[in-house]
Amino acid sequence: MRPSLALLLALSLSGCAGLGRAPDQWRTAPDGLSLRDHALRASLVGGGFGTALARLDGRRGGPDDRLLAAMYRGVVAFYAGRLDDGARALERAHGMTEDRATKSASRAALSLFASDHVLPYVPGPTERLFIPYYGALTWLARGETDEAAVEARRLVGLLGRADGEQSQAGADVRAVLHHFAGAVFDAAGEHGDALVAYRNAAAIRGGAVATADSLAPTADSGDVAVFLERGFVDYPVETFVTGWLDDGELVALTGGSDEVRWHTARRIGGRLAAHNPRPASGRVEFFTVSWPGFRSTHADRRRLAVRVDALGERSAALVTDVSDAVRADFERGQAARVARAIVRAAARFVALREAGRRLEESGDEQGKKKAASVAVGAGLAALSLTSAAIDRADTRSWQLLPAVLGVVRLRLPAGEHEVKVVSGNEVITLGRVRVRAGAVSILAHRVWPGERASSTTVAVVTRFRVPFR
C-alpha cells in the first residue's frame, strides 16, 4: 500500500491545482506549442509587439511559472520598446534563477508521483546566458552603457562556468556571446575587459583575435558590431510511448531502494527508446507514459550578412545555431525525466491494481469493513486515473529565443552610413547609423520568420532596431 498512499498524498497536494490549469496549459497547436505560445509567436512575427506584451498581461496569456514569465516579459518588452518594464523583468529573472539553483527536496519527491510540473522551472545553461544578453541590449537601448556593462559581467561569469562543457554547439553560442560581451565593454569604454572577452571568443573557435576586434579604431574611423538573430528556437513537445514491464521490474520500481528504482527505470527507458518488442514468454504489464521529446523545426540556415555602401557586403563571421545548444542541454536531462515518468506510471499501475483487489475483497465483507474497502478501492482507482490525467510532459522552455545568432563586425569611416541586413536573398533596411571616430557602436536586429523587405517591414524594423551610443 505504500506506493498507493504516496500517490494519494501527492495527488491531494497537487491534483486540484494541476487540473485547474489543464485547459490552458495543455492545449496545443499543430506545431506542438501550447496555444498561448503559438499565439505569442504569431504576434511577434506580425510586428505586434504591443499585442504580445498585452497577452502576457492577461490572466492566462503567459507561462504559469513566475521565473519563465519574467523571462518572456523581458524579451517581449525589449522588442516592444518598453525598456523600463523589460529591465525590471530581466532583473527579476536573474534573481530567481540564482535562488532556484538548489531544488526543493520535497518537490523533487512529489514529482515521482504527480508530475514534473510540480518542480520549479530552472533554465538550461544556454537559456541562462540569454538573460544578461537581453538585459545588456535593454540597457544599451536606454543609452546606459555602464548598466549594460554590469549585465556583460554577469554574462561573462556564466560563460566562465560553461566554458568547460564539451558540446560544440554550446561552444559556438558561447563564442558569439563572448564577442557580444566584448562589444558591450568596448561601448562602455572598458577596453581591457573587451580584449579579454575577444580572446575568449577566439580561444573557443581555435583562432587568433581579429585585428579589428583587438585594436581600437583610428582617429577617423569607428566600429559597428551588428548582432543578428533569426527565427525561433526549437522546443520540447509532449511524446506518448507505450511499453511493457515484467513483475520483477514492477516490484523494483515501487518497492525497491532508490538505487534499484532508478537503475530499473533507466533500463526500461532505454528499452522504450530502442523500441524493443515484448518478450516471447513470461507475464508482462503494458503501460503508456508521456515525456518531452525535442522538436526540430529545421531553422532557416541561409546566410546572414550586412550591407553598407562604404564597404559592400560582409557575411557574419560568427554564426551559431542556438537550437543545437538548447537541444544539447535538454538531452543531458532527458534520462532523469524518462526515469521519473516510468516510476510514476508504475506507481499508478500498482495503485489501480490495489484498488481492484480492495473492491474484489469487499464482496466477501460486511458492514463497516465492506464500506471501508469500497471507499479505499474507489478512491485509489479515481486517484490513479486523476494522476494519469495530470501527468503531462513538462515542456516548459524559453520558447522566444532566436534559432540563430550571428555577429558582423565592421570598421567604417566616421560619419553616417545606411545599414542593411541580408538574409538569404532578402534585404532589410535598418536605417542610418552615425559612426563616431574611435568609438564602438552596437546594432541588433531580429529577422522574424517570413519577414520580407517591404516598406511595411522596414517601418516595423525601425521600431525595434537598436542603435546604441
- Beta strands (DSSP E) in 401-439 are 404-413, 415-423, 426-435
Long-range CB contacts (within 8 A, 24+) of 46-53? 47/448, 47/456, 47/457, 47/460, 47/463, 49/76, 49/79, 49/80, 49/81, 49/463, 49/464, 50/80, 52/76, 52/79, 52/80, 53/77, 53/80, 53/82, 53/85
Per-residue pLDDT tens digits for 90-143: 999 999 998 886 665 455 555 555 567 777 888 999 999 999 999 999 999 999
pLDDT for the residue numbered 259? 85
Residue 218, CB-side half-sphere exposure with 13 Å CA sphere: 6
Q: Are 305 and 288 members of one domain?
A: no
**Which structural domain range is residue 272 located in?**
238-295+333-390
Beta strands in 277-365 (DSSP E): 284-295, 304-308, 312-315, 318-321
Residue at 308 is within a domain: yes
In a domain, 266, yes or no: yes
Does residue 375 share a domain with residue 279?
A: yes
Tally of domains in the chain = 2
DSSP state, 227? E
Tell me which of 370, 390, 410 is where a domain ends.
390
Is 469 part of a structural domain of the chain? no
**Same domain for 423 and 322:** yes
| Domain co-membership, 254 together with 184 | no
**CA angle (464 as vertex; 152, 43 as ends), nearest 5:** 110
In a domain, 258, yes or no: yes
Cβ neighbours of residue 272 closer than 8 Å, sequence gap 6 or more:
241, 243, 289, 338
pLDDT of residue 249: 84
pLDDT at residue 94, rounded to an integer: 94
List, in sequence order, every residue forming a beta bridge with 240; answer none if it has no partner: 290
Same domain (yes/no): 198, 285: no
In a domain, 32, yes or no: yes
Q: What is the pLDDT of residue 114?
A: 59
Quick check: 60 and 101 in contact, CB under 8 A? no
Copy the grid coordinates of residue 296: 526540430
Are 89 and 203 part of one and the same domain? yes
**Spans of the chain, pLDDT less than 50:** 1-23, 105, 209, 211, 452-469
Query: pTM for this one?
Result: 0.82
Do residue 288 and residue 311 come from a single domain?
no
Q: How does strand 415-423 pair with strand 304-308?
A: antiparallel
Q: Are residues 191 and 287 in the same domain?
A: no
pLDDT of amino acid 465: 32
> What is the pLDDT at residue 457?
27
* Angle at 421 (CA atoms; ends 417, 427), nearest 5 degrees: 110
| pLDDT in the model for residue 311 | 81
What was the pLDDT predicted at 43? Answer: 92
Terminal-residue alpha carbon distance, the chain: 67
Residue 442 located in a structural domain: yes
Position 71: which residue type?
M
Q: Are 100 and 154 found together in one domain? A: yes
Tell me: do 119 and 165 sit in the same domain. yes
pLDDT, position 10: 45
Q: What is the pLDDT of residue 232?
A: 93
Q: How many angstroms separate the CA atoms of 201 and 174, rounded? A: 7
The tens digit of pLDDT for each residue in 424-442 reads 778 888 888 888 888 888 9
Say what the pLDDT of residue 151 is. Answer: 97
* Domain annotation covers residue 445: yes
- Position 76 scores a pLDDT of 96
| β-bridge pairing 304-308 and 312-315 | antiparallel
DSSP state of 34: B
The reply to whether 10 falls in a domain is yes
| Residue 179 pLDDT | 93
Q: Which phi-psi region, left, alpha or beta, contains residue 282 (left: φ > 0; alpha: ψ -120 to 50)?
A: left
**DSSP state for residue 447 in the 8-state scheme:** E
One domain, residues 162 and 152: yes
At which of 390, 412, 435 does a domain end? 390
Pick from 360, 390, 420: which residue ends a domain?
390
Q: Are residues 222 and 350 in the same domain?
A: no
